[in-house]
Every structure is written in structure tokens, then in C-alpha cells.
Amino acid sequence: MLFNLRILLNNAAFRNGHKFVVRNFRCGQPLQNKVQLKGRDLLTLKNFTGEEIKYMLWLSADLKFRIKQKGECLPLLQGKSLGMIFEKRSTRTRLSTETGFALLGGHPCFLTTQDIHLGVNESLTDTARVLSSMTDAVLARVYKQSDLDTLAKEASIPIINGLSDLYHPIQILADYLTLQEHYGSLKGLTLSWIGDGNNILHSIMMSAAKFGMHLQAATPKGYEPDPSVTKLAEQYAKENGTKLLLTNDPLEAAQGGNVLITDTWISMGQEEEKKKRLQAFQGYQVTMKTAKVAASDWTFLHCLPRKPEEVDDEVFYSPQSLVFPEAENRKWTIMAVMVSLLTDYSPQLQKLKF
């Protein structure tokens, strides 16, 4: 039996005098939660099964419903503190983490390169041990994935990847929650990536097949995804019976796609490559011409900040664009990550039908 979340949310909105857009959730019967993530690190979705990732999305939807829609106070992280290490600037990652952790009753501590310089002023080993003695978890937005791996090895608390050169797992959780809300299910969707073979694409490649989603990715020659990531993604696709297409043709990747996805062409630290990259990515702008070959129910995602050369205004501000719900969902998904890694809380909302 399907659980009609739309009716409950609309009734709650009417009673509380709020106006908001309610997306479609497909929910199954309540099931006893068998997934236990407490104490784990979140460095890459490669380390998580499909059921574990689904659990984090279910928990995200639960927190969003209980806190945003029902107005409940859930101090699940009261008395806990979070170290936030940011080697790179951020809008969504910082705001979603700080406000989300505080909303759950915890205390976030923001640290920039002026406060802490990983592996320079103090070794990574010493930093990990000190942070372990003073905080309950660390979210780190860094240049090198290897720094996160070292922190995780040396720390006795959960380490969470807030972005690295190789992966950006917490962004992909927000993307999947947004698509779950819009489509009602993820299984069978075709994701069309058009852009750089970067950390966002890598995180999609490490997780999409686990939901039964197909992936068609177009990158310019010389900007393909990491070969080791590609090899593992091919294995996942084979195991889950999904399609993985890697091409240099943007229109081929967009053909029949339900979700058109792109990202910045010039990541932080690549500014000196700007001229070369802009030339290499000619023809990769997502436009309505791109959308014409996509599925009739196509939508658009971009993790922001967005530059006009990556996607034109017609697509970016179209009714099919989900970029702003996607941005908001960064908050609910990072809250779910924190709760799942630090507590024994189980979702009260009926389990989502993925």
C-alpha cells in the first residue's frame, strides 16, 4: 500500500498557515531498520551499499518532514560538537552544515586555513588525535582526498568528506533526495552528465547503479573521469544491470536522459587553466537544444555556483530546473549524515520506495 505523504503535508501546511511546494514521495510499509552507520566515516559512497545510501536518504526525508513540515524540535545532537575544516571557500556546504548541526542541538566549530593548516603547522596525525579528543565528528572540505584518508585512519571519531579533489559524496545525496522528491522513485532513471570528469561525476559513478539508475556521461577529450573510478563504475553497472555510457559527445549523453546534470568547468585550484578549459569545453553548454534530445520529463541539476557558459538562463531558470530545491536539500541530507553517524535514531516516516 502506498503512503500518501502529499495529503499529510498539505493538511499540516493548512493547519499551520504555511505555503510550500510538496513533492511526490512513494512510500512503502514501515520496516524495521537494519542499517547501522553509527561511528562510520563518510569519505566516498564507494564504501556504502545501496541500502545504506537509501537509509541516509530516508532519514533525510524524515528529518525534513518532521522539522520543516511538522515544526517539531529534534535536539538529536544536543551536547555534541562538530569540527569543520575548510581549505576551500563554500556557501552551501558551510551553511547547510552549520545551520543543520545547530538546528539539531549541536555546536559546529568553523575552522579556516588561518585557524588550521592541515599537515603544515601540525601533522595530520596530531591534528586527527587532537580533534578526536574535543569534537564528536569532523567535516573537512579539502584539496586532497589523501588528507581525508589520513585523518580517518588516525581519528577515533567519524570523518566526513565535505569535498575533495576526487569525491563530493554529500552533494550527491542532496541530488538523489531532490530526484526522489520529484520523480517518486530513482530506479530506472537515466542521468545525463555533460561536463568535467570531476569529483561530482566520480560520486555519481560510485552510487547511481546501486539505485538501478543508468548513467550517460560526456566529457571533453583529456577531461575524462579517473580510470580507477571508471573501472569500478563498470563493475557496479554490470552487477546491477544498468547502463554506463562514457562519450565525448554531449548530445549522445543527453539522448533520452531524464536528468541533465552539469557542474563548474573550472574548480577551485584550476584558475590558471581557465583559458584552456573554456576552449576545451566549447559545445558543452546545456541549452534547450540539449533538452530536445532528452526524455519528455527531463529535469536539470547543478550543484552551484553556476556560470552562464555551463548552462544558459533558459534552462537554468526553467520549470524543469531543480537547482534551488537541490541546494536546500544539502541541509537535510547533511543533517541525516550527522544523525546516522552519531546517534541510534531511526526514521519515523515510512520507508521511501526507491
What span, in angstroms and rounded, lies between the C-alpha atoms of 322 and 280?
27
What residue type is assigned to position 258 of the chain?
N
Active-site residue, from 27, 73, 109, 303: 303
Annotate 34-86 with DSSP letters as a single string.
Answer: ----TT--BS-GGGS-HHHHHHHHHHHHHHIIIIIIS-----TTTT-EEEEEE
- Catalytic-residue membership of 303: yes
Phi, psi of 245 (to 5 degrees): -120, 125
Residue ranges with strand state E in 159-298: 159-163, 190-194, 214-218, 244-247, 259-262
Which 8-state DSSP code applies to residue 17?
Answer: T
CB 135 within 8 A of CB 157: yes
- Among candidates 186, 160, 192, which has minimal Cα distance to 58? 186
CB 286 within 8 A of CB 194: yes
CB 112 within 8 A of CB 141: no
Given the C-alpha cell 569535498, which residue does it identify? 163
- Among candidates 203, 204, 181, 184, which has minimal Cα distance to 192? 204
- Among candidates 153, 174, 184, which has minimal Cα distance to 43? 153
Q: C-alpha grid cell for residue 174?
A: 542532496
Measured CA angle at 299 (ends 226, 324), to 5 deg: 90
Catalytic residues: 303
